[in-house]
Amino acid sequence: MLEEDKKKIIFEIKGENHTLSNLLEKEIWKDEDVKAAGYNVSHPLIGVPTMVVETNGKKTAREAVDDAVKRMKKQNADFMKALKK
């Protein structure tokens, strides 16, 4: 965690690249309480994605990220179930 307060969180996604970062950003934006969400990779080959999320205060930024991850996990489980059929 690089920075965190009630409305804003900044964290690194170590070991990942644009694929997961972009997916997470898009999922976070689906939350109506999110005011801003984005990520940056300082160098395309060796950079670590840094994600910034800011909410309107109705929920914490951490809650917004946690909710997005839960939705992504459910989508993945649903996809795996459909794939096995």
* Structure confidence by residue, pLDDT tens digits, 36-81: 999 999 987 888 999 999 999 999 999 999 999 999 999 999 999 9
- Cβ–Cβ < 8 Å for 43, 22: no
Angle at alpha carbon of residue 56, lines to 54 and 59, rounded to 5°: 85
CATH (domain of 13): 3.30.1360.10
* Assigned domain for 83 exists: no
* Assigned domain for 35 exists: yes
Give the DSSP H/E element, type plus range, for residue 65.
Answer: helix 61-84
Confidence band of 33 (pLDDT split at 50, 70, 90): very high
Which domain does 14 fall in, by range? Answer: 1-53
* Assigned domain for 62 exists: no
* Assigned domain for 60 exists: no
Q: How many domains does the chain have?
A: 1
* Assigned domain for 70 exists: no
